[in-house]
Amino acid sequence: MAIVVNRPKLTLAERCYVPAIVAGLAITWKHLKRALFNRGIVTMQYPEEKWDANMPDWYRGAPTLVSDEHGKDRCVACQLCEFICPPRAITIKPMEIPGADRWSKVEKRPEEFDIDMTRCIYCGLCEEVCPEQAIYLRKDYSITGLNRHEMIHDKETLYKLGGVRTGLVFKWNELK
Protein backbone atom coordinates (compact mmCIF):
# COMPACT_ATOMS: atom_id res chain seq x y z
CA MET A 1 0.00 0.00 0.00
CA ALA A 2 1.37 3.28 -0.97
CA ILE A 3 1.87 5.76 1.83
CA VAL A 4 1.15 9.33 0.90
CA VAL A 5 3.43 11.77 2.61
CA ASN A 6 1.92 15.20 2.44
CA ARG A 7 4.36 18.02 2.00
CA PRO A 8 3.89 20.54 4.77
CA LYS A 9 2.39 23.81 3.66
CA LEU A 10 4.99 26.47 4.33
CA THR A 11 4.14 29.89 5.58
CA LEU A 12 5.47 32.97 3.82
CA ALA A 13 8.11 33.44 6.50
CA GLU A 14 9.32 29.89 5.98
CA ARG A 15 9.33 30.22 2.22
CA CYS A 16 11.44 33.36 2.11
CA TYR A 17 13.81 31.80 4.65
CA VAL A 18 14.96 35.09 6.08
CA PRO A 19 13.79 34.27 9.65
CA ALA A 20 15.54 30.90 9.41
CA ILE A 21 18.74 32.57 8.23
CA VAL A 22 18.62 35.05 11.09
CA ALA A 23 18.03 32.22 13.56
CA GLY A 24 20.99 30.33 12.12
CA LEU A 25 23.20 33.39 12.33
CA ALA A 26 22.19 33.81 15.96
CA ILE A 27 23.23 30.23 16.73
CA THR A 28 26.63 30.53 15.08
CA TRP A 29 27.16 33.89 16.76
CA LYS A 30 26.47 32.27 20.12
CA HIS A 31 29.12 29.64 19.43
CA LEU A 32 31.59 32.27 18.20
CA LYS A 33 31.10 34.36 21.33
CA ARG A 34 31.47 31.35 23.59
CA ALA A 35 34.66 30.22 21.86
CA LEU A 36 36.14 33.74 22.03
CA PHE A 37 36.06 33.49 25.81
CA ASN A 38 37.59 30.04 25.58
CA ARG A 39 34.49 28.19 26.67
CA GLY A 40 32.84 25.32 24.85
CA ILE A 41 35.91 24.45 22.76
CA VAL A 42 36.13 20.70 22.44
CA THR A 43 39.52 20.49 20.71
CA MET A 44 42.29 18.87 22.71
CA GLN A 45 45.64 20.66 22.30
CA TYR A 46 47.56 17.50 21.61
CA PRO A 47 51.16 17.61 22.78
CA GLU A 48 50.24 19.61 25.88
CA GLU A 49 47.03 17.78 26.68
CA LYS A 50 46.81 14.05 26.26
CA TRP A 51 44.09 11.47 26.39
CA ASP A 52 46.34 9.00 28.28
CA ALA A 53 44.33 9.01 31.51
CA ASN A 54 41.20 8.03 29.64
CA MET A 55 42.81 5.30 27.58
CA PRO A 56 40.64 2.16 27.64
CA ASP A 57 42.07 -1.07 29.09
CA TRP A 58 41.85 -2.78 25.74
CA TYR A 59 43.88 -0.12 24.00
CA ARG A 60 46.39 -1.64 21.58
CA GLY A 61 49.52 0.48 21.46
CA ALA A 62 53.05 -0.50 20.55
CA PRO A 63 53.96 -4.21 20.89
CA THR A 64 56.62 -4.86 23.53
CA LEU A 65 58.46 -7.80 25.09
CA VAL A 66 58.17 -8.52 28.81
CA SER A 67 60.25 -10.38 31.37
CA ASP A 68 58.90 -12.16 34.43
CA GLU A 69 59.43 -11.61 38.15
CA HIS A 70 62.61 -13.70 38.18
CA GLY A 71 64.21 -11.43 35.62
CA LYS A 72 63.90 -14.05 32.92
CA ASP A 73 63.00 -12.88 29.46
CA ARG A 74 59.84 -14.66 28.49
CA CYS A 75 60.40 -14.92 24.75
CA VAL A 76 61.60 -18.34 23.64
CA ALA A 77 62.00 -17.38 19.98
CA CYS A 78 59.34 -19.75 18.72
CA GLN A 79 58.74 -17.28 15.89
CA LEU A 80 54.96 -17.73 15.91
CA CYS A 81 54.51 -13.97 16.08
CA GLU A 82 56.85 -13.53 13.15
CA PHE A 83 54.78 -15.92 11.09
CA ILE A 84 51.40 -14.54 12.03
CA CYS A 85 52.33 -10.86 11.69
CA PRO A 86 50.17 -9.65 8.77
CA PRO A 87 52.48 -6.85 7.60
CA ARG A 88 55.59 -8.92 8.41
CA ALA A 89 56.88 -6.31 10.77
CA ILE A 90 58.59 -8.80 13.10
CA THR A 91 62.00 -10.32 12.38
CA ILE A 92 63.43 -12.85 14.83
CA LYS A 93 66.82 -14.46 14.78
CA PRO A 94 66.76 -17.33 17.31
CA MET A 95 69.81 -18.62 19.13
CA GLU A 96 70.62 -21.52 21.36
CA ILE A 97 71.08 -20.75 25.00
CA PRO A 98 74.77 -21.41 25.90
CA GLY A 99 75.60 -24.47 28.02
CA ALA A 100 76.42 -22.72 31.29
CA ASP A 101 72.97 -21.26 31.53
CA ARG A 102 70.29 -22.93 33.62
CA TRP A 103 67.90 -22.93 30.72
CA SER A 104 70.28 -24.36 28.15
CA LYS A 105 69.01 -27.32 26.16
CA VAL A 106 65.51 -26.41 27.37
CA GLU A 107 64.60 -23.32 25.49
CA LYS A 108 65.71 -21.01 22.74
CA ARG A 109 66.03 -17.29 23.06
CA PRO A 110 66.04 -14.58 20.42
CA GLU A 111 69.42 -13.27 19.44
CA GLU A 112 67.73 -10.44 17.58
CA PHE A 113 64.12 -9.40 17.84
CA ASP A 114 63.15 -6.47 15.60
CA ILE A 115 59.73 -4.94 15.15
CA ASP A 116 59.53 -2.47 12.32
CA MET A 117 57.18 0.18 13.65
CA THR A 118 56.71 1.73 10.22
CA ARG A 119 55.02 -1.52 9.28
CA CYS A 120 53.22 -2.52 12.47
CA ILE A 121 49.45 -2.18 12.19
CA TYR A 122 48.76 -2.65 15.92
CA CYS A 123 46.47 -5.63 15.22
CA GLY A 124 47.51 -7.54 18.33
CA LEU A 125 47.81 -10.91 16.61
CA CYS A 126 51.36 -11.34 17.96
CA GLU A 127 50.06 -10.92 21.48
CA GLU A 128 47.25 -13.35 20.84
CA VAL A 129 49.43 -16.03 19.29
CA CYS A 130 52.28 -15.94 21.80
CA PRO A 131 52.32 -19.22 23.83
CA GLU A 132 54.68 -17.77 26.45
CA GLN A 133 52.78 -14.53 26.97
CA ALA A 134 55.95 -12.70 26.19
CA ILE A 135 54.69 -10.06 23.80
CA TYR A 136 52.17 -7.46 24.86
CA LEU A 137 50.65 -4.45 23.21
CA ARG A 138 51.17 -1.56 25.57
CA LYS A 139 49.58 1.88 25.61
CA ASP A 140 52.44 3.72 23.91
CA TYR A 141 51.10 5.24 20.71
CA SER A 142 53.47 8.08 19.99
CA ILE A 143 56.21 6.12 18.22
CA THR A 144 58.40 8.59 16.37
CA GLY A 145 61.81 8.59 14.74
CA LEU A 146 63.84 10.78 12.46
CA ASN A 147 64.58 7.99 9.98
CA ARG A 148 63.52 4.47 9.13
CA HIS A 149 66.30 2.98 11.21
CA GLU A 150 65.08 4.69 14.35
CA MET A 151 61.62 3.29 13.74
CA ILE A 152 62.83 -0.30 14.10
CA HIS A 153 62.51 -1.43 17.70
CA ASP A 154 65.25 -3.91 18.59
CA LYS A 155 65.27 -6.38 21.47
CA GLU A 156 66.63 -3.91 23.98
CA THR A 157 64.04 -1.25 23.24
CA LEU A 158 61.26 -3.80 23.31
CA TYR A 159 62.24 -5.11 26.74
CA LYS A 160 62.67 -1.59 28.04
CA LEU A 161 59.20 -0.63 26.83
CA GLY A 162 57.67 -3.85 28.10
CA GLY A 163 59.15 -4.00 31.58
CA VAL A 164 58.31 -6.74 34.03
CA ARG A 165 55.10 -8.74 34.13
CA THR A 166 54.56 -10.70 37.33
CA GLY A 167 52.53 -13.85 37.77
CA LEU A 168 50.88 -16.00 35.20
CA VAL A 169 48.92 -13.64 33.09
CA PHE A 170 46.19 -14.97 30.90
CA LYS A 171 45.37 -13.08 27.79
CA TRP A 172 41.73 -12.96 28.71
CA ASN A 173 42.61 -11.57 32.10
CA GLU A 174 41.63 -8.01 32.81
CA LEU A 175 45.13 -7.20 34.00
CA LYS A 176 47.20 -6.42 31.01
Partner 1 sequence: MDTDLILHFLNIPWVFILWTTFLKSFILLNLVLGVVSVTVYAERRVSAFIQDRVGPNRVGIPLTLFGGKKDIPFFGLGQMIADPIKLLTKENFQPASVNGFYYWLAPKLVMIPPILVLAVLPFGSSLFGVQMTIADLNIGVLYIFAISSLSVYGITLAGWASNSKFPFLGGIRSSSQMISYELALGLSVVPVFMICGSLNLNAIVDWQVRNGWLVAPFWPSGFSVASLLHNPAEVIHSFIAGVSLQRVMLWIPLMISFFIFVVAIFAETNRLPFDLPEAEQELVGGYHTEYASMNFALFFLGEYAAMFAGSGAIVSLFLGGWSCPLIPDGTTGFFWGLVNILIFFAKVSMLLLFFIWVRWTLPRFRYDQLMRLGWLGFFPIALGNIFLTALILAIIHR
Using rule CB under 8 A, residue 19 touches partner 1: no
Using rule CB under 8 A, residue 42 touches partner 1: yes
Q: Which of 14, 29, 50, 103 is close enough to bind partner 1 by CB under 8 A?
A: 29
User: Nearest 5°: phi and psi at 16?
Assistant: -90, 5
Cβ atoms 106, 28 nearer than 8 A:
no
Stretch of residues binding partner 1 (CB under 8 A), selected from 30-38, 52-60, 75-83, 97-105: 30-38
d(CA 123, CA 144): 19
Stretch of residues binding partner 1 (CB under 8 A), selected from 42-50, 78-86, 104-112, 113-121: 42-50
Q: What does the DSSP 8-state code read for residue 135?
A: E
- Give min distance, CB of 47 to partner 1, in A: 10
Q: What angle do CA 4, 5, 8 make, to 5 degrees?
A: 140
Using rule CB under 8 A, residue 12 touches partner 1: no
Q: Which of 10, 13, 19, 35 is close enough to bind partner 1 by CB under 8 A?
A: 35
Cβ atoms 100, 123 nearer than 8 A:
no
Helix (H) or strand (E) holding 136: strand 135-137
Q: Which of 1, 8, 11, 43 is close enough to bind partner 1 by CB under 8 A?
A: 43
92-131 positions binding partner 1, by CB under 8 A: none
